[in-house]
Amino acid sequence: MERKTKKTIGILIVLLVIIIVIANLIIPDEPIGDKLALIEINGPIYSSSGVIEEIHRYKENDSVKAIVIRIDSPGGIVGPVQEIYSELMKVQKSIVVSIGSTAASGGYYIACAADHIFANPGTLTGSIGVIMNFPKIGELSKKIGIDREVIKSGNYKDSGSMYRSLTPEERELFQGTVDDVYNQFVEAILAGRKHVKLTRKMVEDVADGRIMSGRQALEKKLVDELGNLDDAIEYAGKVGGIEGKPKVVKKKARKSLMERLIGVDVENKVERILKDQVSLKYELFY
């Protein structure tokens, strides 16, 4: 009797697995018919590959009539931020951004690629600018008896070393780089927000690193409308020519094995540690 029960349970498990496999094959990953795509950008931006993959997927899908970008980010490293912005600027469909709690610095940079930006009245945004940090441990290394020797190919090869302060020439060199990347930020805003006729002076007047609320950003023409994600989806549906409540497709979240086992996204934490060294950032400093 016990043997028969085990056999029955085994058959049921096999049938269940077969049903799941068939369901995955039959049930589509996304709604059928005209729809919107929702791309989420959450947390500090250290990589662009995942977001760009989504952009390519949806811009080539004829049933996706518009793209909504939900941003909740303090910004991040300049390169990935610019890559995401550039790919969005190539999309021929309407792009609507919904800012959550924060879209500061690089988060706002990406938002400027949209045709229309929604923000909550209390959203934190702005922080337009560039920052470069140089950790210093020179005094600490002297106290604990650590010394070093440097052999370099040029005067500036060890610029920004954590073991010494910057020379006036090095400071001027880095400031020039920061200023150039800052100008790229201003130019990106002007290119993305040309529909509201922002002038360079209007942007530079608020592009001093200051943070502002969504309502303040609306007054400065940095966003187009106050509203939440549902408002952005409704608006995107209308400009995309979708009648009624629009269907929305978005990427399914997939957790790594390590995250499933211990509940922590180790890969992202390691990536942040590795990339949180000396680098140019469009990021809210906190």
Q: What is the pLDDT of residues 8-61, one digit of tens each?
A: 666 667 666 565 545 444 444 667 889 999 999 999 999 999 999 999 999 999
Structure-block tokens of residue 175 = 């400031």
Examine the residue annotation and report whether 35 is marked as an active-site residue of this protein.
Answer: no
Q: Give residue 153's pLDDT.
A: 92
In angstroms, rounded to a whole number, what is the distance separating the alpha carbons of residues 87 and 53? Answer: 10
* Long-range pairs, 62-65, Cβ under 8 A, ≥24: 63/32, 63/33, 63/34, 63/35, 64/35, 64/36, 64/37, 64/93, 64/249, 65/34, 65/35, 65/36, 65/93, 65/94, 65/237, 65/240, 65/241, 65/242
Spot the catalytic one: 105, 127, 159, 161. 105
Please indicate, yes or no, if residue 3 is contained in any of the structural domains. Answer: no
Please indicate, yes or no, if residue 13 is contained in any of the structural domains. Answer: no
Please indicate, yes or no, if residue 38 is contained in any of the structural domains. Answer: yes
Q: Give residue 31's pLDDT.
A: 72
Assessment of whether the complete model's pTM goes beyond 0.85: no
Q: Give residue 17's pLDDT.
A: 54
Structural domain of 181: 31-283
Examine the residue annotation and report whether 157 is marked as an active-site residue of this protein.
Answer: yes
Q: CATH number for the domain including 56? A: 3.90.226.10
Please indicate, yes or no, if residue 256 is contained in any of the structural domains. Answer: yes
Regions of the chain short of the pLDDT cut 50: 21, 23-28, 274, 286
Please indicate, yes or no, if residue 279 is contained in any of the structural domains. Answer: yes
Please indicate, yes or no, if residue 7 is contained in any of the structural domains. Answer: no
In angstroms, rounded to a whole number, what is the distance separating the alpha carbons of residues 55 and 69? Answer: 10
In angstroms, rounded to a whole number, what is the distance separating the alpha carbons of residues 153 and 53? Answer: 39
Q: Give residue 145's pLDDT.
A: 82
Please indicate, yes or no, if residue 12 is contained in any of the structural domains. Answer: no
Q: Give residue 25's pLDDT.
A: 42
Q: What is the pLDDT of residues 197-210, one digit of tens each?
A: 999 999 999 999 99
Please indicate, yes or no, if residue 214 is contained in any of the structural domains. Answer: yes
Spot the catalytic one: 6, 7, 157, 269. 157
Domain count of the fold of the chain: 1
